[in-house]
Each structure stands twice: as C-alpha cells, then as structure tokens.
Structure 1
C-alpha cells in the first residue's frame, strides 16, 4: 500500500500545498491535501531565499498529511518557471544511406537537437556558467523528411531528416535548494517537473494543443507562461511579477503590513464586502470602500497585464486564440479584462480556469477546485509517469553525474558527457564526383566500421537503459576511405572505324580527355574531374581528328563606304549526298570536301532575307505583283543586279527605297513594259480602273491597269 502512495508538493512563493494520492488502476485517487502559507517572505519570485523557513513549512504540511496517510518518504516537486531557460533548436541527419528510419534514428536526432540547444546555451553569454544547467525535458515541435512535415520519422525513408524542438534547462542551484529543504525534513525527491509543464498537462491535454492557447500561471512572485500551437508546446516564458505587486501596491497605499495587505486583496473579490476594515502600521483602524481600493490598484493591474501580454506576444508573435488563467494571482480584480485589452482580443477569450475535471485524477475535492490547485494537481499526475533525479555512472573510466529524465539510456549518458553521438559511428568515406560527358556521376567511399558500446562489459546499443553505478565503455568506429578510380573504371572503350576522305582511308579512334587534357586509360581520377569520352561521329568531328578541315574562304568588300568581310563555307558530301558539318558519319562512308564559288550580290547583301512587301494589280488582264521596296545596286561604279557575282574586293553601293503608294510607272516596271522597245511613232494610252490616267498616278492593291499601244 505504501509503495502506491504518491506525495506531491507545490512549494510556491505564498504557500506550500501538499497532496497525497493513491494509484487505482489507471487513475489517481486523492487521499489527503494540506495547504499552509509562509509566515515570512521566505520565497521571492519563485525562488527559495530562506531554506530553513521553507523546510519548516514543508515539515508542518508533511506532519499533517502523515497523520492520516502514514509515513511519507518520497515526494514529487516542481521547479519554479523563474529559473527556467528554454531554447529552440534544430538538427538534421543524412538519412539517404540509413534505409528505413527507426526509433533509434529518431532518438539520435532528438539528442542531436538537444546538444545543439546546449551549445546555444553555452555560447549565448546569457548565463555565467552553462555547465551548471541541466536539460530537464524537451518538447518536439516538428519532424520533417525532405521538407515534408511528419508526426514521426519511424518507418519512413528519405534523404534529409530534420527536427525542431524546445529544450528546457534548470540551473543546479534551483535543484539544490529544493533538495536541501526536502533533506531537512527527511524527504527524498522522487520526481521533478517544471511548474508550467505540470500546469499545461492538466489544463491543455494533447488533444487541445492544435489550438493556439496561452496558459498563464499567476502566482505570488512570478507569472509563468506556456503556449501551444499546431499540436505541440511551442514555448515557455516567465514574467517576474505577479500577485505580490498588487499586494505591495495596497500596502504602500494604506501603510499596511504585507500580510495584512494580502488579506485585504483577497477580500476584494467578495461581492458582499462593500467596505473592508483593517489596521495600518500606525495602529489606526481604517474602513475603506471596496470600490475605492479597486480603483487605487487599477493602474498596477494594468501594468501587470501589460507585462504578461508582452511576454505572450514575444513568444507567440501574434495574440493567441484564448488565454487560460490559473494560480492564486489570477483572481486579482480586473486582471482578466485588462489582459484581454492588452492583447486586443475579446474579453470572453481570457478566463480563469479551475481544475473541475482532470484526466488521470478521479474525484477532485471541492477545496482543490481552485485556480491555485492546478499546478499541485499537475505535479501529482506527473509523479506517476516521470522520475527526475540524479544517478552516478562511469563512462570510459570517468565518473559521470546524470540528471535522470526517467528510463535513462546510454545515449543520454553520452549527451550529458558532451559526446556527439553522430561521431561514434564510423562515417562512410567521402565519395567523389566525376563529370563524364556533361553528366555528373557519384562514386561513394567505403563504409565505416560501427562503434563498440559496452555496458558492464557486455556489448549493447545506445537505447540500453542504465542504472546507478553502471559502467559504460565506448569505442568509436573507424571511418571509411575515399574510392580510388582510374579512367578505365568509368569509361567503356569502343573500337575505331574507317572512312574515306577525298579518296584516302582514315581510322577514327575515340577521344578521351581529363579536364581538357588528353589522357590514357590508366590515368587516376580526383574529385570533381571532368572526363570527356567520345567517338567522333559527326562530319565536323571526323574532319577535325583527321586534319581535313576545310578552311573558310573570306571575301572582303567595301559596302556603302564601310569595309565588310563575307565568309564562304565549304561544301561537303557523304556518299554523294550533300551534307552539313553536323551530319552523322558511319563506318566505310565516302566523304568529299569542296569550296563554294564567289557569292552573288543577293547573298552578300542578304536581299533574299528581306521580307517581301508588294501589292497586286491587274495589268492587261493578268495579275502583276508590284513591290513596295526598290533596290539600287552600283558595283564598281556600274549598275548591277542582285543575281550578279560579287567579286572579291568589289566596291558596292546599295540603297533601298520604300514606297507606301506606288505609281503607274512602278507597275510598268514590275510588268517589264519598256516603252523603248515600241516602234517609233507609237502612241501609248493608259487606263486606271477603266479611266484615262497619267504615269504618276498612284495605284493601290486590286487596281486594274490597261495599256493601249497604237502604231502609225
């Protein structure tokens, strides 16, 4: 029976709450509870300042509980959020050669991310001694595999696996002060959790964490903040002010002892209290309207709400969907409304929550259905699932003091010792990348040897659980080697073939280069080498390797006063068929080469490429195309036609006239009608669209022109 008893203590700034529960099937039944307030300000801002005084209150709570439950030796506690340090970190692993990912791979990735968080903590310069901080838990935000979000990596296959998590750290002095107070009253720390974690596990279970919620535990000295979104806890925070600030304001306003001011504050929420009576430090009796006291603290409540809102917005960036308030300080008058206003969300979205029903705890007594009972109930609930304490092991003959997260493994020991788990496995040898004919090929290195892990001289794995006084020995694996490759390992040698070029036989052999330099098949290759390997198969390639390239013939001209050069390309044929430089060449092909003759004026000037613009008219009942562009060509001071040969070193003057509306004379030229060829004394009459016209009359598309010639 005694083994099943669970004892939880919530050691707060204002009071100490003790709960005793009993495991019944899968639930916890509360047997007894006790609450006592500190007589002095032994704790401030969630930290123990007077260990003996705090131990005295714990002893009184323990004694009252033992009166009904029997001896209590182990207790579950929670550390204050004020000392909490949270760091968001990520890590990734190359999953390409791991095959299907296992739970061990996922765990290794999580531990790598925690190591990254520890490194961030050590290099952040925000704390003086990072080595005195312990990772006491973490919340996975997301897994991704090749940029695809997943709930778990187990059973998946991909290239790059990543994780994002929030790691939480506590300084050793926080744990030491708790342990010191417990040791004085002969209690052993059975489990340790964090106050915000305990609270969020009570009010925001996993099924609610898809909502963007903020849980604010407003105590006496601190206001702890926890946020959820997209199915996970996304952040923890702390505001170093809470209910004591309001109590202090009342104390200053009315000259009251701090404890008297605390009693006055608690009476403000009672609607029956129209006035409140109290004695000040001068011994004078005052009776002040409740409304007046509320008005006097309104500014301080607003300042507290703004501080909490600032922390929420810093962690969440935008206002959350709703805010859940717990803790004794959540009952401060006007606080919920002021926080809603500070966050710019509707007032009903900020509410004080009470633990009316908690999964895993049955029949919660009425006296525990209060906002300040959420955290102790959360501690009690987590006490059945986690064991956070210290164990001592030996790692490679060095003593190691481990903070126990519950079911610690060898991997946890390596993490605490600062050993990168990924460095234990023999890494595969670096591969080399070779580019072969513009295609990249990867040649992997040899596989490394695995590490040897021994627990108490027995070979085991990273996931093996450890216990007090275990001996661990780690022998790192060896890494693989870089591959050794030569040309013959990456290319296939093809046989040469024979062709005839201008009636002479040639053998065409493969061409192999490394980084542009001719190479033999025994040439060793290095990373990022560029290998070209080809058997010449085009006409240009074959002519090049056989030194039969026909030089281009250049011609020079002066065109419109400027020197120009024109190249005449060679003429090729394969097996009697005209060919281009890109034409394919096969075994036993017969290749002939030649040079084209001098270019024509049309080819030289590119007149054949000019876009044809013309209109069509009916000339003497026959269709006639009349160009809208006229060329004038003078070569070597003589008129020339486009079809004339442009001899080397010729002087050519060329002009082009565009005419939008041609005349009758242009039609006669297009129709090759030359009046000089007519018999002497002939009379010419021209009709445009059946009407007499002149040579200079304009014509348009579709016009009809008739020419009548009369001889004497």
Structure 2
C-alpha cells in the first residue's frame, strides 16, 4: 500500500502560458491529480522575462483559485525560472567525518548547500560580474560525491576520513527572480522552493543511471530554449538561448499579417490540419495549405535550430552529444527535431520529442492529456523537492536581499549577497608617506580607517551572528583614515634635540638636517618622496663638535697646527676627560637629556694622541714567536717633526708648536726584520744548511710576516 508523504503545488510560469499542477508524493513515486494551463491575455512575458507583473499575477491568481476549489487552500508553491542571462559556477565542500557517526540525508543536504554557497562566492568574485550585478541561485546539480578523495555513488551511512560534495550551480539576474517573486506575492503565494527549468526537466527525464551517456536536454518554450548536458554520470553544464517558439510565431504574423495570438493558434494547427483557414488584420479570409506554411516558417526554424545547436556544442566542449531530448511546447514546432539533427550531424532518430510517457515513477489522473509541454511543470515540483533552493528575505541598508537558506545563515552571508565586500567593513587607510632617510626608504603608514558598525534589528552585531527571515541589517560605514604626515623629528630614532649641562652651561644640540639638499629644522614637515639626511649629535663626541660651533668658552681656546701629507690641519685643544656624576665617560657615551657633564683639560697633548686623532699610523708592529721566544717587531711608518726638528713619539706638544708628520715607509714587516729585535745571528760556517719556517711552512727572508706568526730557523 502506498503511503502519501506530501501534496505539492508547482507553477511553470512561461512566456506563452502558466501551468499550475497539484501532485501527490508517495514513498517512491508521484501522482498528478490536477493540472490547469492558461495562456497570458497579452504579451506580458518576453523571452522568459516578466514585463507586466500585474498581468502575470492575474493569471496565477486564476489558476490558484480554480485549484483551491478542489484541493483546499494553496499558500506555498514551487516555481522555476527560465534561463535568461544564465550564469553557472562550480563549488565544492570537504568536511572531516572521522569522528562523526554515519552520514544522514540531512547531512548531505547541508553539504550540498554549502557547496552551492561556495559556488556563489566564486561567481560574486569573478571578473564576469560588474560591481552592481546581482545574481540569485536558482538551482544546482551534484557533480560528484567523494569519500576520502574517491568518487562514490552515495554518502548516506558511509564512514571514512573526509567527505566531499562537488556541485554545479545556476544563477539568474536579480531582476528575473524578483519579478517572479513579485507576481507570486500579488497572487497571495509564498515561494517554497525555486529551480531552473532545465534542471526540472532533466531530473524527471534523465535519471542518474542514464547520465553516463552524453545527452542534451532542451526545454523549448515560447521565449527561451533552456539546455542541460549530461555526461559521465553527472550533469556537466546548463545554458540557454533567448530564442524559441515565438520566433516562429512572429514569422507567421509578419508574413500573413496576423495578430500575434492568431498566429500562435495557426502555428499549433500546422501539424494537425492539411489546410489552415484564418482572417488577417484587414479582414480577408485566407486558406493556406499546411505544407506552404511549413515552407514559410522553415528559415525561422532553421535559425532556431542553429542557435540551439551552437549552444549545445559550446556547453559540450565543442562536440555534438550522442542524443538530444526536446520537451516543452516549442518542441512540437514542425521540422524542428529534423533541423536539429542536421545541425548537430546526428541521425534523425537521435533527436526525439519526449512526453509524459517517458517519465518513470510518475502517474497521471485520467483527465490529464499527456504532452511534452507538461514535462517541465511536473519536473518543477519533483526537482524542488529533491534539490530545493529555499530563500529568505533580508533588508540590508533599505535594500531587499534574498539569499538561499542554509541551516545557519549569518550576517556575513547577507552582506555577501548584498555585494558588501570585506573592504567596505573598514574605512580605507590613509595614504602612506615614503621618505628616504639617510639613504634608506622609510614608510610612514596612514591612519587606519574606523570599522563599520553593524546593527541587526537595531542591536549591534557581528558578521557571525545568525539571521532569520525578514531581519533588518543596517550598516554605519566606517570613516577613512587620514593621510600620513610627519615632521623630521618624528622620523629620527631617539631625541632630535639633546638638552644637557657642560661645565655649568646649559646646552641644546639639535640634529643636523638636510631636506632635499637644503638645511632644514627638525620641526619641518616632510612630503612624499622627500630625501632626508639627519646627523644626530647624541654621542658625547658629536655633541662636543656642536659645542665648538657655538663657541663654548671652556673648550674653544688654543689649537695646534699640524701638517700632514702636504696639507695643514687645525687640531682643537680638546679635553681628554669627561665626567658624568663623577664617572669618566668616552666620546662614544650616549648623552641623556638632563646630563651634567664636567671636563678635565690637560695642559699638553702627546704626539701619539695627535696621531690617533688624525688616524695616522706612527709605526707598524707585529708580535710573533721566534724559536719559541716571543718577539715584538716595530717598523716606523711616520716621522714626526716639531718646529722642524725630528721628535720622539712621547714628546708633549705645546699649543704654539708646529707639528709635521712625514710618511717614512709603507713596506711590510719581513722575516729578516726579526734579527733587529733579537740576539740571534746566523752561523758563519757556510757548510751549515738551514730552513726558514713560518707557521711550519717554508718562507724566504724577504717575505712578509704578521702578528701571531710562529717563526723558526731549522739547521740541517
């Protein structure tokens, strides 16, 4: 005994007519109990797009009321949309199931919808869409189920490490879906589920067991021809062309001067009557043989066949499929199936019109006449049940947004659907400032922008908060950050000015600043790409140099005239000792703000101190080991003359002395120099043989030696 599971109501809102269907769902089958079809009273839909919402809603209302007389109140309906401006995207989701119990049907549904959401994110971030484009998901098909990376027929009750679902999802422009929803709302109906017309048809005509074959399904309506491709056990592509039966009707209307509805009626009679009788718009009656009418429409049928064939090949990687199934009212157009076989280079028996008798698991009430036009309406109800897309309505900044409903939808999902990007959730950072400081490029970042405040139904929320149908989201967008700005002193590590006391005198020493080659202050504001040279006087030595430039009375007195390499150098008489808190400091001491420094000045400077100041080498020295004895070897590099007289290095220079340094030699210290600093002498016996060694290796008398060398003379 069959058990009734549910009663379903579906609508196929087409370009030429609207079909309402009520069917009963049983455990493993469906039974069509009622079906009503009504044509639009005017051309309120063109190429699958609603142009007159009021007119379409009126037809829907009529069908709803007639069905309600026999089946009670109808409030929820499943609908399908034509594939006008169709976009497709693939998505996948992988989850860890190693710690989970057996996978249920509900788990798989959630996985499929998560994969669809990933496909939507892929589409929204693709280059295909402009910033103001809005697309809604209208259906999907599963490409593959995978367990631990391997394809599997079903995930139900499976155990493993990870489960994967891959889908192909279809998306339509917002205007197509919104107009459909508006018409339903005016007819006092709520959309329970949404699907795409070719998805609806393929679900009932091509079951999974048949999808290993390369088959194209074409749903030819009045305004659009929707296409689905099956191959390798899955649905591989969806597409559409905006031409269908109306192209043929318009040809008849133009050729015979007929009103459009009359031309449509005439088209339907071609296959059933030998002679067609009609009145044109001028009132003249005409009788035309059906064969002549077929010749008139043949070019339009050929154009339609060419458009459909080209799209089939494009979706099928440039090749023709093994077979083509055509459904929908437009499939009955005379010679269309034959023209399709010609264009696709297929035998005529590989392109076939399919009707309700091809459906498995579906039975009809005896009062319903089977027709290819009814395949899609029945498929809508079944497809919406098997792979439903449920939508919720959310308002984002007074903009109505509809997004398909997963188990737990969040504010972030709504923002994604409203095309609010992550960047918009924060104000833009200010422009950075790039400056070349002492040869190195330094970047000063601009201020960070403030974050956007999100209000969910008037309360502050985050992107992770859950949302429900009819929720209202308001965004108070964050402010952009200020552009970076900086003075010279902001770029210097450490203080740009140092304040200290030297021998009781308050001293302030600023860093030396060159901005683009010009002297500048530490308070000068810099601009982008400026070049800065900053010399900081933060060591004692550098600060004292600055003090000389401001004529500090304690340290600017006598000087020494020194001659070196033919040039005169003035050497200031500098203090040799500096004290902070009684502790002696060196020139490398880092001065701290507030330091109190005292100086202790000697009366004389030694030659060595002057040489060190000018970085003059007075003598070269090498400490070596000679035959196990330490020896210090010295070699004069520079001679010193005081007031024209050769002087010893220990001489104490007076302020009035004239000091001259003369380079004597830059020859290296060699092995033979050792004998000037030891008592060793070579034997006079010419018969004695010997070897000179440096660090165990042979060496000659005139080869250089260095500090740390081990020198030996071995006799043989």
TM-score (norm 2): 0.52
The 5 Å alignment of 1:209-358 reads 209-270=211-272, 273-317=273-317, 318-356=319-357, 358=359
Find the aligned partners of 1:325 and 1:265 in 2 and give their Cα distance. 18
Deviation at 1:232, TM superposition (A): 1.0
Matched, 1:371 2:369: no
The 5 Å alignment of 1:679-690 reads none
Deviation at 1:47, TM superposition (A): 0.9
Residues 65-105 of structure 1: CA deviation (Å, up to 9, x unaligned) = 22222332222211121143212356789x8x989999689
Find the aligned partners of 1:137 and 1:241 in 2 and give their Cα distance. 22
Gap change, CA 1:465 and 1:415, over 3 Å in 2: closer
Find the aligned partners of 1:192 and 1:105 in 2 and give their Cα distance. 19
Deviation at 1:150, TM superposition (A): 4.8
- What SS does structure 1 have at the residue aligned with 2:171? strand
Gap change, CA 1:66 and 1:278, over 3 Å in 2: same
Gap change, CA 1:469 and 1:54, over 3 Å in 2: closer
The 5 Å alignment of 1:3-22 reads 4-22=6-24
Structure 2 unaligned regions, length at least 5: 423-464, 474-716
* Residue aligning to 2:169: 167
Find the aligned partners of 1:78 and 1:127 in 2 and give their Cα distance. 25
Find the aligned partners of 2:4 and 2:372 in 1 and give their Cα distance. 30
Deviation at 1:118, TM superposition (A): 2.5
- What SS does structure 2 have at the residue aligned with 1:221? coil
Find the aligned partners of 1:245 and 1:301 in 2 and give their Cα distance. 8
- What SS does structure 1 have at the residue aligned with 2:357? coil
The 5 Å alignment of 1:142-161 reads 142=144, 149-151=151-153, 155-157=159-161
Gap change, CA 1:401 and 1:45, over 3 Å in 2: closer
Deviation at 1:292, TM superposition (A): 0.9
* Residue aligning to 2:75: 73
Residues 506-527 of structure 1: CA deviation (Å, up to 9, x unaligned) = xxxxxxxxxxxxxxxxxxxxxx
Find the aligned partners of 2:332 and 2:109 in 1 and give their Cα distance. 43
Of 141-150 and 76-85, more deviation after overlay is shown by 141-150
Gap change, CA 1:276 and 1:51, over 3 Å in 2: same
Gap change, CA 1:465 and 1:30, over 3 Å in 2: farther
| Aligned partner of 2:126 among 123, 129, 134 | 123
Find the aligned partners of 1:136 and 1:44 in 2 and give their Cα distance. 19
- What SS does structure 2 have at the residue aligned with 1:410? coil
Q: How many residues align?
A: 423
- What SS does structure 2 have at the residue aligned with 1:356? helix
The answer as to whether partners of 1:360 and 1:381 remain within 8 angstroms in 2 is no
- What SS does structure 2 have at the residue aligned with 1:391? strand
Gap change, CA 1:106 and 1:32, over 3 Å in 2: closer
Residues 300-352 of structure 1: CA deviation (Å, up to 9, x unaligned) = 11111010000000000211111001011101111001100100111100000
The answer as to whether partners of 2:93 and 2:111 remain within 8 angstroms in 1 is no
The 5 Å alignment of 1:267-666 reads 267-270=269-272, 273-317=273-317, 318-356=319-357, 358-365=359-366, 367-385=368-386, 388-391=389-392, 403-405=403-405, 408-410=406-408, 418=416, 468=469
- What SS does structure 2 have at the residue aligned with 1:183? helix
The answer as to whether partners of 1:32 and 1:69 remain within 8 angstroms in 2 is no
Matched, 1:186 2:188: yes
The answer as to whether partners of 1:388 and 1:403 remain within 8 angstroms in 2 is no
Find the aligned partners of 2:226 and 2:320 in 1 and give their Cα distance. 17
The 5 Å alignment of 1:35-74 reads 35-74=37-76
Find the aligned partners of 1:105 and 1:356 in 2 and give their Cα distance. 31
* Residue aligning to 2:566: none
Residues 184-243 of structure 1: CA deviation (Å, up to 9, x unaligned) = 222222222211111111111122111111100000000000111111111100010000
Gap change, CA 1:402 and 1:43, over 3 Å in 2: closer
Residues 657-678 of structure 1: CA deviation (Å, up to 9, x unaligned) = xxxxxxxxxxxxxxxxxxxxxx
Gap change, CA 1:162 and 1:390, over 3 Å in 2: closer
Find the aligned partners of 1:185 and 1:470 in 2 and give their Cα distance. 23
Find the aligned partners of 1:55 and 1:106 in 2 and give their Cα distance. 32
The answer as to whether partners of 1:101 and 1:156 remain within 8 angstroms in 2 is no
Gap change, CA 1:99 and 1:134, over 3 Å in 2: same
Of 276-285 and 101-110, more deviation after overlay is shown by 101-110
Residues 160-193 of structure 1: CA deviation (Å, up to 9, x unaligned) = x976531212333223212211222222222222
The answer as to whether partners of 1:18 and 1:34 remain within 8 angstroms in 2 is yes
Gap change, CA 1:50 and 1:34, over 3 Å in 2: same
- What SS does structure 1 have at the residue aligned with 2:79? strand
Deviation at 1:262, TM superposition (A): 0.9
Residues 668-711 of structure 1: CA deviation (Å, up to 9, x unaligned) = xxxxxxxxxxxxxxxxxxxxxxxxxxxxxxxxxxxxxxxxxxxx
- What SS does structure 2 have at the residue aligned with 1:40? coil
Gap change, CA 1:19 and 1:146, over 3 Å in 2: closer
Find the aligned partners of 1:331 and 1:46 in 2 and give their Cα distance. 19
Gap change, CA 1:118 and 1:4, over 3 Å in 2: same
The answer as to whether partners of 1:217 and 1:225 remain within 8 angstroms in 2 is yes
Find the aligned partners of 1:410 and 1:208 in 2 and give their Cα distance. 35
The answer as to whether partners of 1:42 and 1:48 remain within 8 angstroms in 2 is yes
TM-score (norm 1): 0.53
Find the aligned partners of 1:363 and 1:372 in 2 and give their Cα distance. 14
Structure 1 unaligned regions, length at least 5: 424-463, 473-712
Gap change, CA 1:182 and 1:109, over 3 Å in 2: closer
* Residue aligning to 1:526: none
Deviation at 1:21, TM superposition (A): 2.4
* Residue aligning to 1:707: none
Gap change, CA 1:268 and 1:470, over 3 Å in 2: closer
Residues 553-606 of structure 1: CA deviation (Å, up to 9, x unaligned) = xxxxxxxxxxxxxxxxxxxxxxxxxxxxxxxxxxxxxxxxxxxxxxxxxxxxxx
